[in-house]
Chain A
Amino acid sequence: EIVLTQSPATLSLSPGERATLSCRASQSVSTYLAWYQQKPGQAPRLLIYDASNRATGIPARFSGSGSGTDFTLTISSLDPEDFAVYYCQQRSDWPPKLTFGGGTKLEIK
């Protein structure tokens, strides 16, 4: 079973700063890695799919990179609306299973 480990658990930054969030897989997941943003009381929102492709309507300040076991979500310049919890997620096809990382809370410093 593939386990996704996100770090840090909490990241304290100020608006305008650069945020770098990490997701490490216990074994290779190729590039089938997605990132989501979740705000309190809301459903998750897809940001990045296939490791580096921005979903429809996602601002260019969000970017994803990585392959194999190490992935990164970068927010180039934090907007006040970016403070939320971020999850990574992968799918393995055999056995079929989707798993999420434990999340990184991005909070205002």
Chain B
Amino acid sequence: QVQLQESGPGLVKPSGTLSLTCAVSGASITISNWWSWVRQPPGKGLEWIGELYQIGGTNYNPSLKSRVTISVDKSKNQFSLNLTSVTAADTAVYYCARGRHAFDVWGQGTMVTVSS
């Protein structure tokens, strides 16, 4: 059974960098799979941030592309999200998920607040 677990700071200062990690268990991250980050501001809908595929390839939401980096750590079977120059608008629950056309496995999500 594949499980995903997000971790990282729950509070980030404005203009700082948001860094999160998604630990994958029950599957090898190196096997052909697609891994994404999705976020949800409080009381709002879902927004795709970007994805990692074929262990090295990345695609990003054009609206966030200039600030986002997704990377993989094969030795730890995890992947990470870095979002730079954050503002209050980046306050959200951040999820990691597996899938290319649909997300069949999700992490529980982690709340990140941008505030001084």
Among B48, B99, B102, the most chain A Cβ lie within 10 Å of the Cβ of: B102
Smallest CB separation, A1 vs chain B (Å): 8
* Bound Cα distance A102, B40 (Å): 11
- Given that A43-B95, A43-B109 are contacting pairs, would A97 and B48 also be in contact in the complex, using a CB cutoff of 8 Å? yes
Contact of A100 among B48, B101, B106 (CB under 8 A): B48
Count of inter-chain pairs, beta carbons less than 8 A = 58
The CA of A89 and the CA of B103, in the complex, are separated in Å by 10
Q: Mark B45-62, 1 if CB is under 8 A from A, else 0.
A: 111100100000001011
B102 to chain A, nearest CB (A): 4
Q: Name the interface size band of chain A.
A: 20 to 34
Closest partner residue, chain A, to B106 (CB atom): A43
Separation of A98 and B49 alpha carbons in the complex (Å): 9
Q: Specify which chain B residues have a CB less than 8 angstroms from the CB of A101 in the assembled complex.
A: 45
| CB <8 Å contact, A44 and B46 | yes
- Which of A91, A101, A103 counts the most chain B CB atoms within 10 A? A91
- Least CB distance from A38 to B in Å reads 8
Count of interface residues, chain B, beta-carbon cutoff 8 Å = 20
Q: Are B104 and A49 in contact (CB under 8 A)?
A: yes
B14 at the A interface (CB under 8 A): no
Q: What's the Cα separation between A98 and B108 when bound, in Å? A: 20
- Does residue A50 face the partner (Cβ distance < 8 Å to B)? yes
| Cross-chain pairs A/B with CB under 8 angstroms, 17 sampled | A34-B101, A34-B103, A36-B103, A44-B46, A44-B103, A44-B106, A50-B101, A50-B102, A87-B45, A91-B101, A91-B102, A95-B62, A97-B59, A97-B62, A98-B36, A100-B46, A103-B45
The chain B residues found within 8 Å of chain A, CB to CB, are 36, 45-48, 51, 59, 61-62, 95, 99-104, 106-109
- Shortest beta-carbon contacts, A-B, top 6: A34-B102, A96-B59, A49-B102, A43-B106, A98-B48, A100-B46
Binding site for B on A (CB under 8 A): 1, 32, 34, 36, 42-46, 49-50, 55-56, 87, 89, 91, 95-103
